[in-house]
Amino acid sequence: MLKVMADGIALRPDINRPALQSKLGRKLIDGELPDSIPRLHTEAWQTTPATKAKVLLLIPQYTRIRRPLDIVADNLSAKNGLHLKRDLKLVHDLKAEGLNYIEEMKRAGVPMGLLRVGTQAKAKGYSVKIIDGAYQGWNDERHAFTSSEGSEIWSYGIANDVMIEAIREFEPQIVGISCDYSHQWGNTRALADLVKSIDENIIVIMGGTHVSGLPEDALRDCPADYVVCQQGDVTFVEMIDALHNQTPIEDVAGIVFRRNGNVVQTRPRGFLPSMDTFSQPDYSLVDFSLYDSPFHSGGKRQVDHDHLTYGFTTVGCDVRCTFCTIPRIQGGWLKMNEVSFDRYLASLVEFGITEFIVEDDHLFHDPEWTMKVFDLLEKYNLPWFEEGGVALFSLIALLPEVSEEFVLKETGREKLFEPLLRAKRSGLTLDRLVKRMRESGCYSLYLAVESSNLEALGTANKPPINTIEYYTQRVLNTLYDNAIHATGGLMFGFVNPTAGRKLYVETREDIEKTFEYGRFLMAAGASYMNPFIFTPLPGAPHFSKLQPYATTNTDEGYSHEFATMNDAPNGEWSKDELNLLRVRSLVEVNGMESYKTILQTGTWPIADNDPISRRINRAI
């Protein structure tokens, strides 16, 4: 049975973006909701039904923000806040260094989601091609437009004329577009419009975190036909089979489309019950040479030959932070079958992969599994970096001086900590875990510290023990002693609804304390401090409650590097104050030269000549 979706939250690209040009796009602008294409109906399809469709899977070109410091300074002066003099001095200092903008980093990586989808579709007999529109033009950067808020929006990736030629050459009947980042919604929408402008009969299917969180809004705003909400590698293939066989599309679980003037959804698809059915990706679908840069998203590569890739050993997360959408999209924590992971790594090495980036959202949830991961990574001699975020509280819980009673009393999260405490009862300690991690080839990790502010952590449903300096120092000392880089991940600008009380808004004073905590992290052994601005994502528990206080402009917000919340509801800070505060923390904690390196390389500036890097290089 189909369920009609109510008109809900609307996030939109900036109004200065070029308007939609396809027939379907113009109808959507006029408020119409034409039906999604229910079946493949090209002449070739009708005359040769045994031939399966061509499926083109796309990543759009991406954009990034370059916000002029002159506009920031003007906005700060108009607000005349308490910290104006200090803020304007930073603007002056940046301009003296030849820096006239606050700039967003480029972001992209191996499209593992599309690779899994494409692998399944190819296995069913479909002709599949993947085009990474962000990376296949990584150095082709150009000014796209100036936003309604005065920011310069720059695009990088395949230019439209090149993408048009590629689409026409492949002649797909089905196009799948991935939109994992809300900040890139405008580019996803524009790409769907481009496809429909080439041939309105091409069926366009969208997937990814953003559209899974706001499927109804996506189909009201974008000239695509369908949204796949969960288990894309399963749902997508079931869906194109239905289109191929001309069976009722409404029988496919977990999809959303337009029908009879409404946006409708089919029955929900449950979360992945286990990872035992995980299949090896078909790496021939991706040109891995695109990703062979000396730098990746978390710093400098450790191996200067062959390929690196991104991958995972687990999916889902049980922490359930109120700003995060992972539990809604993937469900609770699940680990891969050990035999499957072994085969997975073997296939990577056979293909020529020499470096591995672990994308797990909670790799250390169950240390017994984590230790098996270490064993297998060492077996295949794969240097690796943990990018998904290692929870600081998980490592603190393994310190011998931290009792089980203390952890449970301070956090009240018995179920969350049970696997950690079980491993600890069996004799696992932080020292043993980190030593084994280094032996297995780990050279760097992103340490999710989040905040030094107890109330910010509490209202975000984060365990509070991250704020205890002694335990945090012990963790960082241990990582440093084992030659593992730690990037201290912080978050600031929290705005959270609270039970029975007024809205919680993090104060400027508390934000400054978190930056001081960043200095402490560096002194304790962290290699770099990386602050992000609080960003509630579509599908997150607090997303809808915070929308009255957040921007709806996806080109200006939802990047984590620029503020998504508008000026604080209580006047505590302004949007551009948060934007400049992030730069201040990067400059004051890491140094001006480090900040300039970010702008040059687009990644975290973990140096070659620091003590940890020298020890790592000797070991390789």
- Report pLDDT digits (tens) over 440-473: 999 999 999 999 999 999 999 999 999 999 999 9
**Looking at residue 41, what is its pLDDT?**
66
- Which of 245, 265, 285 terminates a domain? The answer is 265
Q: Are residues 48 and 192 in the same domain?
A: yes
Beta strands 101-103 and 62-68 are antiparallel
**Looking at residue 78, what is its pLDDT?**
92
Q: In this structure, which amino acid lies at residue 30?
A: D
Q: Are residues 473 and 575 in the same domain?
A: yes
- Which of 103, 131, 165 terminates a domain? The answer is 103
The share of the chain scoring above pLDDT 70, in percent, equals: 95
Measured CA to CA in angstroms, residue 261 lies from 23, 31, 215, 216, 223 at distances of 16, 10, 15, 12, 14
Contact 213, 227 (CB under 8 A): no
Q: In this structure, which amino acid lies at residue 454?
A: L
Domain that holds residue 371: 294-615
Contact 328, 540 (CB under 8 A): yes
- Judge whether residue 554 has pLDDT over 60: yes
- Which of 50, 85, 103 terminates a domain? The answer is 103
Helix axis angle for 112-123 and 232-245, nearest 10°, is 40
Q: Are residues 59 and 70 in the same domain?
A: no
The DSSP symbol for 553 reads: B
* 214, part of any domain: yes
pLDDT band at 250 (very low <50, low <70, confident <90, very high): very high
* 597, part of any domain: yes
* 228, part of any domain: yes
Chain segment 19-31, per-residue pLDDT in tens: 999 999 999 999 9
Q: Are residues 234 and 188 in the same domain?
A: yes
Residues 330 and 35: their CA atoms lie apart, in Å, by: 29
**Looking at residue 265, what is its pLDDT?**
97
* 53, part of any domain: yes
pLDDT band at 526 (very low <50, low <70, confident <90, very high): very high
* 275, part of any domain: no
Q: Mean pLDDT across the stretch 102-118?
A: 91
Looking at residue 149, which CATH number applies to its domain?
Answer: 3.40.50.280
Beta strands 54-59 and 174-178 are parallel
Lowest mean pLDDT among 33-42, 99-108, 363-372, 514-523: 33-42
Residues 92 and 342: their CA atoms lie apart, in Å, by: 54
**203 backbone dihedrals φ, ψ, rounded to 5°:** -85, 125
**Looking at residue 48, what is its pLDDT?**
53
pLDDT band at 186 (very low <50, low <70, confident <90, very high): very high
Helices (H), 9-111: 23-29, 43-47, 69-79, 84-96
Q: Mean pLDDT across the stretch 417-428?
A: 97
Q: Are residues 76 and 160 in the same domain?
A: no
Please compute, for residue 97, the number of CA atoms within 13 A of its CA located in the half-sphere on the CB side.
18
Q: Cβ neighbours of residue 144 under 8 Å, at least 6 residues apart? A: 63, 153, 154, 155
Neighbours of 33 (CB within 10 A): 15
Q: Cβ neighbours of residue 364 under 8 Å, at least 6 residues apart? A: 370, 390, 391, 394, 395, 420
Residues 552 and 565: their CA atoms lie apart, in Å, by: 9
Beta strands in 275-383 (DSSP E): 295-296, 299-300, 307-311, 314-315, 334-335, 353-358
Chain segment 37-66, per-residue pLDDT in tens: 998 865 544 545 557 899 999 999 999 999
Q: Cβ neighbours of residue 32 under 8 Å, at least 6 residues apart? A: none
Residues 553 and 540: their CA atoms lie apart, in Å, by: 18
Chain segment 260-293, per-residue pLDDT in tens: 999 999 999 988 788 877 778 999 999 988 888 8
Looking at residue 388, which CATH number applies to its domain?
Answer: 3.80.30.20
Q: In this structure, which amino acid lies at residue 137?
A: G
**Looking at residue 47, what is its pLDDT?**
44
Mean pLDDT of the chain: 92
CA pseudo-torsion sign 293, 294, 299, 301: positive
* 273, part of any domain: no
pLDDT band at 599 (very low <50, low <70, confident <90, very high): confident
Helix (H) or strand (E) holding 391: strand 384-391
The DSSP symbol for 214 reads: S
Chain segment 129-161, per-residue pLDDT in tens: 999 999 998 889 999 999 999 999 999 999 999
Q: Are residues 55 and 80 in the same domain?
A: no
* 556, part of any domain: yes
Q: Are residues 229 and 337 in the same domain?
A: no
Q: Are residues 391 and 340 in the same domain?
A: yes
Q: Are residues 385 and 330 in the same domain?
A: yes
Q: In this structure, which amino acid lies at residue 589?
A: V
- Judge whether residue 196 has pLDDT over 80: yes
- Judge whether residue 619 has pLDDT over 70: no
The DSSP symbol for 368 reads: H
Q: Are residues 394 and 258 in the same domain?
A: no
**Looking at residue 607, what is its pLDDT?**
54
The two three-digit tokens of residue 605, written as one number: 């500036």
For 411-450, the DSSP string reads H--HHHHHHHHHHHHTT--HHHHHHHHHHTTEEEEEEEEE
**Looking at residue 45, what is its pLDDT?**
46
Q: Are residues 416 and 468 in the same domain?
A: yes
Buried b (16+ CB within 10 A) or exposed e, 425-450: eeebebeebbbbbbebbbbbbbbbbb
- Choose between 42 and 194: higher pLDDT: 194
Residue 478: closest CA among 421, 424, 432, 426: 432
The share of the chain scoring above pLDDT 90, in percent, equals: 81
**What is the total count of domains within the chain?**
3
* 223, part of any domain: yes
Q: Are residues 520 and 444 in the same domain?
A: yes
Across the strands, what pairs with 544?
Answer: none
